[in-house]
Amino acid sequence: LNSASPPARRKWLADFSECLFSFVIQLLPTQEELAVKEDVRKLLERLIRTIEPESRLLSFGSTANGYGLRNSDMDLCCLIDSEERLAASDLVTMLGDLLERETKFHVKPLPHARIPIVKLSLDPSPGLPLGIACDIGFENRLALENTRLLMCYAMIDPTRVRTMVLFLKVWSKRRKINSPYKGTLSSYGYVLLVIYFLVHVKNPPVLPNLQQMPPLRPIPKEETYLGGFNTWFFDDIELLRQRWHSENTETVAELLIDFFRYFSRDFPYGVGVASIRAGLLKKDSKGWQNDLSASRYNDARERNRFCIEDPFETDYNVARCVTKDGLYTIRGEFMRASRVLAARPERAILALADLCD
Ligand code: CTP
Ligand code: MG
């Protein structure tokens, strides 16, 4: 379609792509910030080892998946390799006490949360002008694997995939629709929507489906299970880049415009489930229906307004926090973004300012 577009439209799309690209670049974390975060991780790991000598502290989420923005939180996961280990809730309490005694962090242990964590924060300092916020959880191996999956997708087509994801993260934060506690969607949810769109909606696809790759090497596809879930995916990105090329040549601008159009108009919110593993699924095939005959207080109905399947934990709806109002607001924002972009203001930079205003 690109080559068939009239020159003025093509020029505008090229300009807008350029704007998006330079916009996200200046929001990336500095080398200094990354170095400070790595120092913090090492310090915390040393301290945890005084309680559990066989433990490792690993980064996941945006510090590790290639979609990190400046000053984003640190998500850390503690893995313990020894057989007889303390219960997570005890570890959280002990670690909380230790960090309170030995460090300058503000510490908040949450031993009784669904997933017990220690929340930490550090006041601003010259190296970290906005301070630091960090959550430490235990044994969350699925989160480490889904982080690696998202990172692999980012590596296949860094320019288009990372630019789109980073832009959507900033946009959703500025438009205040990135907060699961208030009924909208987590960053993780938005990243899954972008990947779903690039793998399953775009034709030809921009990304292959790493969880269903035909064999690229003469090794049978192994199955790897974690907590009963198959976490296998094709992770040899070097080889993939030699053997697989997307036929899709659209620019980031075109993809973004189409993304907003698809999620404001075409995605079947009422009956559909977005799955990066399997494409568009039906709510009732997963037992996630929110049929109208259900009572007003029906929990399942409230939880399944918007459905995004977790790539590994397939019975987990990543968008379960999205409320009726939240979904209405999110769709309204997708429509607003579509409108702004359809108007194609004369200078592309104005579209960007308007989008995030
Ligand atoms: N995660 C998850 N299930 C969720 C939410 C998050 O497994 N419902 C895990 C994922 O591994 C995800 C990580 O927690 O990569 C961090 O989630 P989130 O904070 O939403 O995403 P980030 O990429 O860290 O975004 P931000 O920069 O906004 O913190
Ligand atoms: Mg995070």
User: Interface pTM (ipTM) of the complex?
Assistant: 0.97
- Alpha-carbon distance of 140 to 114, in angstroms, equals 12
The answer to whether residue 223 scores a pLDDT higher than 80 is: no
CB-ligand 1 contact for 190 (6 Å cutoff): no
Residue 146 CB–ligand 1 contact under 6 Å: yes
Evaluate if residue 126 carries a pLDDT over 80.
no
Ligand nearest to C-alpha 60: 1
Residue whose Cα lies nearest atom 3 of ligand 1: it is: 318
Please work out whether the CB of residue 188 comes within 6 Å of at least one atom of ligand 1.
Answer: yes
* CA–CA separation, 247 and 308 (whole Å): 26
Ligand 1 centroid distance, CA of 1 (Å): 35
Burial 306-336 (b: 16+ CB within 10 A, else e): bbbbbbbbeeebbbbbbeeebbebbbebbeb
Residue 299 confidence (pLDDT): 67
Q: What is the pLDDT of residue 4?
A: 54
Q: How far is the CA of 7 from the centre of ligand 2 (A)?
A: 41
Find out whether 333 and 354 touch, Cβ atoms under 8 Å: no
The DSSP symbol for 2 reads G
- CA gap 132, 116 in Å, rounded: 20
pLDDT digits (tens, 9 = 90+) for 262-316: 999 999 999 999 999 999 999 999 999 765 555 555 566 778 999 999 999 999 9
Determine the atom of ligand 1 nearest the C-alpha atom of 69. 27
Residue 293 CA, distance from chain mean position: 33
pLDDT of residue 1: 46
Please determine, for residue 3, whether its predicted confidence score (pLDDT) is greater than 70: no
Q: List all residues 6 or more positions away from 242 whose beta carbon is below 8 Å from its beta carbon.
A: none
Q: How many residues in total does the chain contain? A: 357
Q: What is the pLDDT of residue 125?
A: 79
- The helix-helix angle for 348-356 and 163-174 (nearest 10°) equals 50
- pLDDT tens digits for range 235-260: 999 999 999 999 999 999 999 999 99
Q: What does the domain layout of the chain look like in residue ranges?
A: 2-22+145-356, 31-141
- Report the pLDDT averaged over residues 151-170: 97
H or E element, residue 159: none
Does 3.40.30.10 match the CATH number of domain 31-141?
no
Give the per-residue pLDDT at 82.
83
Complete DSSP assignment for 188-209: HHHHHHHHHIIIIISSS-SS--
- Please enumerate in sequence order all residues whose Cβ is within 8 A of that of 30, keeping only pairs 6 or more positions apart, or say none: 70
Nearest-CA residue for atom 11 of ligand 1: 143
Residue 357 CA to ligand 2 center (angstroms) comes to: 23
Express the helix, strand and coil content of the chain in percent, nearest 5 each.
50, 15, 40
What pLDDT score does 214 carry? 75
Atom of ligand 1 nearest to the CA of 150: 15
Does residue 218 surpass a pLDDT of 70? Answer: no
Whether pLDDT at 143 is above 50: yes
- Is there a contact between 297 and 275 (Cβ–Cβ < 8 Å)? no
Residue where the block lists tokens 């962090």: 105
> Any idea which residue has 């030809």 for tokens?
204
Report pLDDT for 60. 97
Rounded percentage of the chain residues whose pLDDT exceeds 90: 81
What is the distance in A from the centroid of ligand 1 to the CA of 289? 25
pLDDT band at 217 (very low <50, low <70, confident <90, very high): low
The mean of the pLDDT values for the chain is: 92
Q: Which ligand is nearest to the CA of 180?
A: 1
Residue that is written with structure tokens 């080892």 in the block: 49
CB of residue 59 inside a 6 A radius of ligand 1: no
Which of 58, 172, 184, 186 to probe ligand 1 with, by most ligand atoms within 8 A of CB?
186
Architecture of the 2-22+145-356 domain: Orthogonal Bundle (1.10)
DSSP 268: -
Compute the average pLDDT of residues 22-38: 93
In this prediction, residues 336-346 reach a mean pLDDT of 93
Q: How far is the CA of 63 from the centre of ligand 1 (A)?
A: 10
For residue 68, give the ligand 1 atom closest to its CA: 27
Residue pair 286/299 in contact by the 8 Å Cβ criterion: no
The ligand placed nearest to the CA atom of residue 147 is: 1
Residue 280: beta bridge partners? 274
